[in-house]
Structure 1
């Protein structure tokens, strides 16, 4: 069973097409990324457990549902993962936000850690890693390694586009995590970029082409 769930909602697929288009400017790219992340968060949290609590409406007392015991942390992989954080916070406003700084060595294509700041109670939270492009899978594997070393047991990944080779790398290293994506592409080019992909998400988010 694949650990990757591709979200097929028409709004998500439409917005992904706009993201892929090289003519989409940075402002629109940022807005679309936030919108997609918000819609994805709705699906990522779908299986959160519920419990009954008693409340009082303007009419009478009643039993109603609330999320049971789930505290969430959003952990973007810097820098591109920041573009998805606000969208998730629209759905889960009480979530805490940590940061993992990784960059890819252009020769080895391996991730190099340069920054780590996490909530003190990270081990008690469901962690949603945001990383727009899951290409080789190295950054996700490194991020999950860091989180598991700190006791995190429930980890989900949100990526705009996932490449099949990267998905296999993550699955081999961490078959227990879930990956949610809108686009599932087949290949990487000789530079390690997803094909057809959408280019460098960080450059397109922040206008640093």
Structure 2
């Protein structure tokens, strides 16, 4: 088996500050949603750091020049529903031309396994960088299922972006998909007996959408 790609923890002061506000149980739904969007925008710089570039000749107000621009097919943000939608809001501001994929999965609370209910992706995934987004990497089951589906659909350049990761989820994703890089704002202590990240921030979907 190939060695796993490294986990990148984005320790920028603004990221860590906003993550603390996000963890606070007293943050309102509106505040939580806004913070997720802002964190996605900041983390988006890291997850897109190595996108390929080419050059194009342009005219500035002063002269012509060869200027850098993104190369290749438009990248894809793949949202693991429903909580991934909060990250998509920020990432779409960073890369407005990106294609959006939607992967509907929910966690069975008894088995903690991922159950699929929706899958809609752009065409030609084999030639597109795909960034899977979900606020939490807990057990890793949902993310692994999402990557399984994307690979079956032809994707071969995949990375994963989350706000929080548990060691158990990292191990699961690296074991199943060692070729998928992980970018996160923090690695927390562990999972509890219910499969929630500790200290974590609770259920990201419920806090984002004001549900229980």
- State the distance in 2 between where 1:118 and 1:22 align: 34
The answer to whether 1:78 aligns with 2:81 is yes
Counterpart mapping for 1:137-156 below 5 A? 137-156=140-159
Q: Which residue of 1 aligns with 2:186?
A: 183
- State the distance in 1 between where 2:70 and 2:102 align: 25
Name the TM-score, length of structure 2 as normaliser.
0.96
Counterpart mapping for 1:1-209 below 5 A? 3-209=6-212
The alignment partner of 1:58 has SS state of coil
- State the distance in 1 between where 2:28 and 2:41 align: 20
- State the distance in 1 between where 2:80 and 2:66 align: 40
Q: How many Å apart are 1:64 and its aligned residue?
A: 1.2
Name the TM-score, length of structure 1 as normaliser.
0.97
Q: How many Å apart are 1:90 and its aligned residue?
A: 0.9
Deviations 1:105-161 (A, max 9, x none): 111111010111111223321111110011000011100000001110111111010
Q: How many Å apart are 1:162 and its aligned residue?
A: 0.4
The alignment partner of 1:18 has SS state of helix
**Structure 2, gaps ≥5 residues long:** none
The answer to whether the Cα contact below 8 Å between 1:165 and 1:187 also exists between their aligned partners in 2 is yes
- State the distance in 1 between where 2:66 and 2:11 align: 34
The answer to whether the Cα contact below 8 Å between 1:165 and 1:186 also exists between their aligned partners in 2 is no
- State the distance in 1 between where 2:94 and 2:211 align: 29
Runs of 4+ in 1 over 6 A off after TM superposition: none
